[in-house]
Amino acid sequence: MSTPPVFIEISLDEQVQELRKYFKGLGAEISLEKSSKGIEDDLHKIIGVCEVCFKVATPTEIDGILNSIVSIMISIPLDRGENIVLAFCEKLTKAPETPLAKVCLQSLWRLFNNLCVTSPLRYHVYYHLVQVAKQCDQVKDVFIGVVQLKQQFAECPPSPEQLQKLYRLLHDVLKDTNSEMAAKVMIELLGTYTTENASVARDDALKCIVSALADPNTFLLDPLLALKPVHFLEGELIHDLLSIFVYEKLPAYLQFYQNHKEFVTTQGLNHEQNIRKMRLLTFMQLAESNPEMTFEQLTKELQISEKEVEPFIIEILKTKLVRARLDQANRKVYISSTMHRTFGKQQWVQLRDLLQLWKDNIATVEDGLKNVSTAQVELARKQKFIN
């Protein structure tokens, strides 16, 4: 989202006077007299009644009024403006309707972009930006991803505690509309904890695991086990369930569900969706060591009927987790490649060996081409000598 910079041609004193007059005319409890304490007090009183315009003014008029307030705010020295900025942000999060929320979003974004990139106030403005963006379904315009978020605050990074608060908010606003991004945000949240404070992140770790398990597009789950807050859950049911999704096959999940139905349900997880994901993960694990599988083998491992094999293969091919082809005549599936469910030391060794093999093969081809080239040169030389 982009907004134009703030330019107001009249002086600050004149703006303050016009705003006082405007809000007084709308019935707000504000004096027409300029404050003797300075412009900060003027602005504080104006912001205190600015929501009055939400009830009677048009969105265009409101945008102009808020733009005027922003232009005054950004002229105030940083050490005197924090309370005013926070008060303004709080007011704008209370916009009563979606059209007004969009106007407030524009004003907050304008304020954010006009603050110095080294200003710690940008964090507070952005936090409220996300809140307002949720109200008018514009989150995608203010949050693209974690990488872009970090770039926005590169000159003045928020504290770990502030990041944790922001990541929790982002997860909350994303979980119902973009579960994949919500899961990534939760992983970033857990990454902000250290060994010293990881034990206090239990609730965040639980949310992170549940979010990742529930996301139909998240299949590489073993990085979660390396997160310190998740490690502190070892021995609890949620950690056991995560381990099943990382290492085990479908029967292990079905046994867990049989023993802990209520737990799975209370976590907000859908049993049928869990089965679907475990079937996909089970197939991926089988594909790692079986370049070809019979329909009979798949019906047994995945606990599906033979007529369901073909639709299942089509479904997993759509995920691009596996490359394979069906041989209906021979009732077989041939695997070309698959994404590994886990990527640890063993997989790194396999990758190293594969790259070394490619390197050796390329060297062999190169040597062969050199020999052919040398032979051709020698043959040409001999023919020239004979002639």
Residues 358 and 301: their CA atoms lie apart, in Å, by 34
Residues 109 and 103: their CA atoms lie apart, in Å, by 10
Residue 35 falls in which region: left (phi positive, over 0), alpha (psi -120 to 50) or beta: beta
DSSP, collapsed to helix, strand or coil, labels residue 72 as helix
Burial class (CB in 10 A: 0-12, 13-18, 19+), 73: buried
- CB-hemisphere CA count at 13 Å for 310? 7
Measured in degrees and rounded to the nearest 5, phi and psi for residue 241 equal -65, -45
Q: Say if pTM beats, i.e. exceeds, 0.85.
A: no
What is the chain's Cα-based Rg? 31
Pairing of strands 332-338, 322-327: antiparallel
Measured in degrees and rounded to the nearest 5, phi and psi for residue 374 equal -65, -40
Q: Cα dist. 71→85, 183, 197 in Å?
A: 12, 38, 41
Q: Tens place of pLDDT for every residue, the chain, 387 residues? A: 544 444 456 788 888 888 999 988 988 889 888 888 888 888 889 999 998 888 888 889 999 999 999 988 888 776 677 889 999 999 999 877 778 899 999 999 999 999 989 999 999 999 999 999 999 999 999 999 999 999 999 999 999 999 999 999 999 999 888 888 888 898 899 988 888 888 788 888 998 899 889 988 888 888 898 888 998 899 999 999 999 999 999 999 999 999 999 999 999 999 999 999 999 999 999 998 899 999 999 999 999 999 999 999 999 999 888 999 999 889 999 999 888 876 666 655 666 767 787 787 887 888 778 877 777 777 777 676 665
C-alpha of 158 from chain center: 18
Q: Which of 142, 43, 61, 154 is nearest to 99 (CA)?
A: 61
